[in-house]
Each structure stands twice: as structure tokens, then as C-alpha cells.
A and B are shown apart, each in its own frame.
Chain A
Amino acid sequence: MIPVSLQELKDHLHKTYQLSPEQIDRMVASIQRALTLEFDKAFNAINQQDMTSLWKASHSIKGALMNAGAAGWAEFAQKIEKDAKAGVDADYAALLNELQNGIRDIF
């Protein structure tokens, strides 16, 4: 899957939500903050084998990526969310790493 660029994010925020450059900057910072927080929660959940916290964090990551216009990566996050919610045994750390790597440009 093609990684998401920061410019694509800004274009999306401008095009979809008619945000001003200042608002776009604030929104980008907010998305970055949210993603940072939720990835931390997700990795902590994996370490603690807390599947509920994992699917919730994945759900929040999915939402942030939806807002960011990263539909493909949002679906990826949704798969992690659903699997975690369903208790599917998977390498969630690897999946999260792959996701994080795909959207690293917007961090």
C-alpha cells in the first residue's frame, strides 16, 4: 500500500473541509497528536495483552486516518480493530508497525 504524504493530507483537509492554511496546520498537529497517543495505547495494549484497549486504540487510529483522508490505511486499522475485537490471534505489533510505517510522513 502506498504511504500517505503530508501534502496529500493537507490537500485533503483543504479540499474536503475547506480549512484555511492555519486550520490545516492545527488539524495536522491534532492528527499527529492523536495518532501518537493511540499508537502508544495500542502498543501498550499489546504488551499487556489487553485486546479491548487494542481494538479501541485501533478504532481511534482508524478514525483519525479517515479524517486524514487515508482511506486505505484506515481500512488497515479497521482490520486490526475488528480482529482484536473478535479476539483473533495475530501479530498485532507487526501490523501496527506496518501501519505506522505507511503513515509515517504525517507524523
Chain B
Amino acid sequence: MVPSLHSPGPQTILIFDDDFSNLTLLSMILQDGSFSVLEADHWEKAQNLLEHNKVDLILLDIVLADLDGYQICKKIKNHQKFQDIPVIFITSLDEPFDEEKGFMAGAVDYLRKPIHPDILKARVITHLNIKQQREQLEAQNLELAEKTLAYKQEAQRRRNAEEELMVAYSSLEDRVKERTAELREVNQEMANQIKRRRRSEQALLKSKEALTRQNIRLEELNAALKVLLDKRDKDQKEFEERIVTQVKQLVDPYIRKLQQTKLNESQSVQLDILSTNLDEIVSPFTRNIFALELQLTPVEIQIANLVKQGKSSKEIAELVCITPGTVDLHRKNIRKKFGISNKKVNLRTYLLSFQN
């Protein structure tokens, strides 16, 4: 049984024989649709056909008129373009030496005449399949070589990248170490600052608490002092009022009675002195009462006393060292505070009336 041809298209076979009957017979056997046949009966024609056709296999006779088949086969095998074309010798030479010589010349097979069509086709198809497989293997080898080269280049590229990465990694590690050391120092400094700040905060808190306590104590003392001062002012006022009241009720009536009696000049003078001195003693209390009640300023109180003594505005201005205009202004304010503004009341008489 003839094996099947693996190649999809018809394969081209060159039959090289100078015997017309062989050429014709081989062509008839092989021209069954699977093969395209080219015929040559001498080397020049065969070479021309090889140059201009894609020949897949050569059937070659050995005994030829000029060059023999061995020489032709060697020429083919030495030709860069044709060397991969399988050559099968077909001959009627039957010596083992001839067959060996054929293989030594580069043939892939050796067929003896008479030709058996099925054996011829089987051998031809087998060698065409081998050739096709070899070509596929070569293509695969080429592809594999390209892939291997690409892989090697890729591997080299990766090695280079890895080396660069290692360098970068090493540099990065150094930077990380430096940065870590810096961060550690900064952290330590920050921790120290935090500690100092906490200590300061605690100290501030303690100071604040102490101040708060002190403040509370001061407020309490202020309150107590205020109470004491109020009490003292109240007591002083009561004391002054009592002195004035007692002088007016218990001393003044008797002085007036004495003044209405007949006294000698000396006695009269002494009584006046007594009365004046007593007024002098009591008048500050009375003045204070007025001042407190009328809210007179110290200057107004001073001016009021000088008015009461009968001093003119000019004299008061000289005594207090202010202008007479200013004295008049204070006199107006005093009148206003006593509620006698725009009234025909003498200020001195009004002030003396309080003394009495």
C-alpha cells in the first residue's frame, strides 16, 4: 500500500534520465495528480529546470552519456540552492558497490530496475514526507533559535534590569538607613520636647492651681477687708455724727448762754476762743459730712471753707494758686451741688448756716 503524501499541494519531481523510455514510463507512473513532473536528459537542462522551478525531489539515472549520476548528484549536493533536494537513484546497475557509491554521492535512496510503480511511489512519497518534516523541523529550529535568541536577549535585559534594581535597592537601603537615623533623631528630639512641654504644662497647671487658690484667698481677704472698711467708715461716720450732735446739744447751748451773760472783756475773749476752737475741732467732721453727702471734690471743699471764712475769689485764687475764673467755676459747682444755683442766696451765709 502506498503511503499518503503529507504535503497539501502537488509536489514537483524532476526525472533526470537520458533514456526516453525511462523518462516516459516514470512520468506516466508519477503523473497521477499528486505530482508535477519535469523531465531532463542532460545536466544543462536539469540545471535550468532546477533554477526556474521549486523541485521537491529528483529521480536520477546513474549511467548517462556524459556526466554519470554520481557526479550529477555531487553537483546538486554541492549547490547551495539545490543541496536540500532529496535525490533517488533509479538504475539497472545491480552491484552493491554501485548502491554504496550512490549513497556516498548524497542520494537518499537507490531503486533498481525493473520499476515497480507502488514501490516507486512509496519511496518517493516517503522521502517527500521526510523532506517536508525536515523542512518543518528546520523552520521550527529556526523559530526556536529566534525564540532562544529573543529569550537570551530578554534574559540579559532582565539580568541588567535586576542588576540596576539591586544597585537602586542598595542605594535605597542606604537612603532608608540614613533617613531612619534622621527620623530617629527627630523622634528623639520630639519626644524630649514633648517631655519638656509636659513638664512645663504640669508646672503651669500647678502655678494656675496655686494662683487660683491665691486668688480665692485674695477675694476672700478683699471681701473681709471691704467689710472691715465699710464697718470702719460706718463707725467713723457714726462717731463724727455723735461728736457733732453731742457738741451741738451738750456744749453749744451752754456757750450761747454764757455769751448772753455779762462777762468781762477777758472772759468774753476766752469764751470766743473756746467757741472758735470748738468749731475748729468739730468743723472737719461737719465738712466731711457735707462732703460725703454732697460729693464735693477736695478742691471744692477747700474753696467752700475759704468762702466760709470770708475770703474773696481773688484771695482764694492766690491761696489755692488757681485763677479767679477757676475759683468762680468751683463756686458755681458748689452752688449747683447745694441746689442754690440761680437763687439769690449768699454762698458764705449758706455755708455758715450749716456750721450753726
Interface residues of A (CB under 8 A from B): 16-19, 23, 26-27, 30-31, 33-35, 37-38, 56, 59-60, 62-64, 66-69, 71, 74, 78
Contacts and interface: CB of A to CB of B under 8 A. Distances in A.
A52 to B, nearest CB: 10
Contacts of B91: 63
B63 A67 contact: no
A62 B62 CA distance: 14
A22 to B, nearest CB: 10
A64 B117 contact: no
Interface string B20-63: 11111100110000000000000000000000000000000001
A17 B117 contact: yes
Nearest to A24: B28
A39 B234 CA distance: 179
Nearest to B112: A66
Contacts of A74: 92, 114
B113 A63 contact: yes
Q: Binding site of A, secondary structure by majority: helix, strand, loop or mixed?
A: helix
Contacts of A19: 28
B247 interface: no
Interface in B239-287: none
Contacts of A26: 24, 28
A33 B20 contact: yes
Contacts, number: 65
B202 to A, nearest CB: 120
A82 B152 CA distance: 62
A23 B31 CA distance: 12
22 contacts: A17-B25, A17-B28, A17-B117, A26-B28, A30-B20, A34-B21, A35-B21, A56-B63, A59-B63, A59-B93, A60-B63, A63-B21, A63-B22, A63-B91, A63-B113, A64-B19, A67-B22, A67-B25, A68-B21, A69-B114, A74-B92, A74-B114
Contact of B115 (A37, A67, A71, A78): A67
Interface string B81-107: 000000000011100000000000000
A34 B20 contact: yes
Contacts of A30: 20-21, 23-25
Nearest to B117: A17
A41 to B, nearest CB: 9
B28 A66 contact: no
Interface string B104-139: 000000000111110000000000000000000000
B113 A37 contact: no
A20 B159 CA distance: 70
Interface in B4-21: 18-21
Contacts of A63: 19, 21-22, 91-92, 113
B190 interface: no
Interface in B141-183: none
B229 interface: no
Contacts of B115: 66-67
Contacts of A60: 18-19, 63
B65 interface: yes
Nearest to B24: A30
A19 B32 CA distance: 11
B32 to A, nearest CB: 10
A37 B92 contact: no
5 tightest Cβ-Cβ pairs between the two chains A and B: A30-B24, A34-B21, A66-B114, A31-B21, A66-B113
